Amino acid sequence: MLMIGKWAAVAALGLGAARVVGGWAVVSVENPPEVLRAGATYRLEFTVRQHGVTLLEGLSPHVRVADAAARAASGGGHRIAAEPTGSKGRYAATFTVPQGERVLLTVESGFGRGRRTELTLLPIRVVRAGESLAAAVPAERGRQLFVAKGCASCHLNGDIEEFGQANESHAFGPELTGRALEAAYVRQRITNPASLPPIGEGTLRMPRLDLAAADVDALVAFLSRPQERAAQ
């Protein structure tokens, strides 16, 4: 896989000459689960930002919870209302984990309609009583977080085929398919985007998400290693 240099990496992660259009939002899940236990309850928290930046209040979001296999066959599942948490732009919904092998979680932002107003996470493994909740390796966790934190909503990445099957990207950021970026640059862009020069002529910029250190490490591991290009 091609390793790109500093200036190419800048172009790859900056939002660049993005178009500013009317109403669209980016969902960032604050506590995306790596693994869920069947029958347990889970409180999912997420933030909604207009144009990926401005925190949105007064919405009526929902979370759809479904067994992945059943949803693929019939589109079924439960739709649960989310409530404001008290933090600007943040909402939460509590659900019971289904009994299937994997769960699909879809956040409906409540800011408009259609797939571009939603975010479906990558399928989440479900374990039974007594089974291990072993965490994913950092690069695989970073792959999950690239979707859950909203990165894929602005950056096309064909190396995550499941995202494209369930979501539509706004594609305002440069495409990242098959690229390996410089780890130090990725870390700086994620943790302190304002510390780097603007890219391009557009007005949209990457938001500061205040990610946990472990989440930053996982995203850096995912974005800085050579990726396997998605099958055509």
DSSP notation for 123-184: PEEEE-TTS--PPPPHHHHHHHHHHHTTHHHHB--TT-HHHHHH------BPP-TT-B--HH
Tens-place pLDDT, residues 72-92: 555 668 999 999 999 999 999
At residue 16, what is the residue type? G
pLDDT of residue 6: 37
> Is the pLDDT reported for residue 38 higher than 70?
yes
Q: How confident is the model at residue 170 (pLDDT cuts 50, 70, 90)?
A: confident
Distance CA 129, CA 37 (A): 7
Distance CA 55, CA 229 (A): 34
**pTM > 0.85:** no
Share of the chain above pLDDT 90, in %: 50
Mean pLDDT value across the chain: 82
Domain with residues 6-19+136-224, CATH architecture: Orthogonal Bundle (1.10)
pLDDT of residue 201: 59
| Residue of higher predicted confidence among 225 and 1 | 225
Tokens read off for 110: 């409540």
Summarize the confidence of residues 148-157 as an average pLDDT.
91
> Is the pLDDT reported for residue 198 higher than 70?
no
Distance CA 36, CA 143 (A): 17
> Is the pLDDT reported for residue 4 higher than 70?
no
> Is the pLDDT reported for residue 33 higher than 80?
yes
25-127 has which CATH code? 2.60.40.1930
pLDDT of residue 119: 95
CA–CA distances in Å: residue 1 to residues 69, 155, 177: 33, 19, 11
- Within 8 A by CB and 6+ apart from 53, the residues are 204, 205, 207
> Is the pLDDT reported for residue 44 higher than 50?
yes
All CATH 1.10.760.10 domain ranges of the chain, comma separated, are: 6-19+136-224
All CATH 2.60.40.1930 domain ranges of the chain, comma separated, are: 25-127
